[in-house]
């Protein structure tokens, strides 16, 4: 079993739809949670960064972390064709552990928003 599981999709939605992306994880030591967007042939771009459980909103993006269920989500409201990309969840452990600082990634979800 992988430490982080992410549905690879692909996911295709019409413009304006609400998109829900999810990851589950097994390592209870993870405390930092991130969502990255990666366009083809580009480096990942940090979209959201959250620490521990809770919600965080930034514009059209909302990140949710539920540590009790080991489940994180990214919601995209009013999706646009420019949101078409691969979305990667990533997480890491806090200082003190051997895995501190290293990101463990999900497999990535390919999203297409069509006009």
Partner 1 sequence: GAVVSQHPSRVICKSGTSVKIECRSLDFQATTMFWYRQFPKQSLMLMATSNEGSKATYEQGVEKDKFLINHASLTLSTLTVTSAHPEDSSFYICSARLGGGGEQYFGPGTRLTVT
DSSP secondary structure, 77-100, as one string: SS--GGG-EEEEEEEEBPTTSTTB
Shortest reach from residue 76's CB to partner 1, in Å? 20
Nearest to 87 by CA among 35, 26, 51: 35
Tokens of 96: 């003190």
Query: Total number of residues binding partner 1 (CB under 8 A)?
Result: 26
Q: How far is the CB of 105 from partner 1 (least distance, A)?
A: 5
Residues 75-104 that bind partner 1 (CB under 8 A): 88, 90-95, 101-103
| 50 phi and psi angles, rounded to 5 deg | -135, 155
Q: Which of 15, 46, 54, 69 binds partner 1 (CB under 8 A)?
A: 46
User: In the complex, what is the shortest distance from the CB of residue 66 to partner 1, in angstroms, rounded to a whole number?
Assistant: 18
Q: What are phi and psi of 69, to 5 degrees?
A: -100, -5
The number of angstroms, rounded, from the C-alpha of 69 to the middle of its chain's C-alpha atoms is: 16
Is residue 115 near partner 1 by the rule CB under 8 A? no
Binding residues (CB under 8 A) for partner 1: these are: 31-32, 34, 36, 41-46, 49, 51, 88, 90-95, 101-103, 105-108
């Amino acid at each position: 079993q992988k430490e982080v599981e992410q549905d690879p999709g692909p996911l295709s939605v019409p413009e304006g739809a609400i998109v829900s992306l999810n990851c589950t994880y097994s390592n209870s030591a993870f405390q930092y949670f991130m969502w990255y967007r990666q366009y083809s042939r580009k480096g990942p771009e940090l979209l959201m960064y959250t620490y521990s459980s809770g919600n965080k909103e930034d514009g059209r993006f909302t990140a949710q972390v539920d540590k009790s269920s080991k489940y994180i989500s990214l919601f995209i409201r009013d999706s646009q064709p420019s949101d078409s990309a691969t979305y990667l969840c990533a997480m890491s452990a806090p200082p003190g552990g051997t895995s501190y600082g290293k990101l463990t990634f999900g497999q990535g979800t390919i999203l297409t928003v069509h006009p």
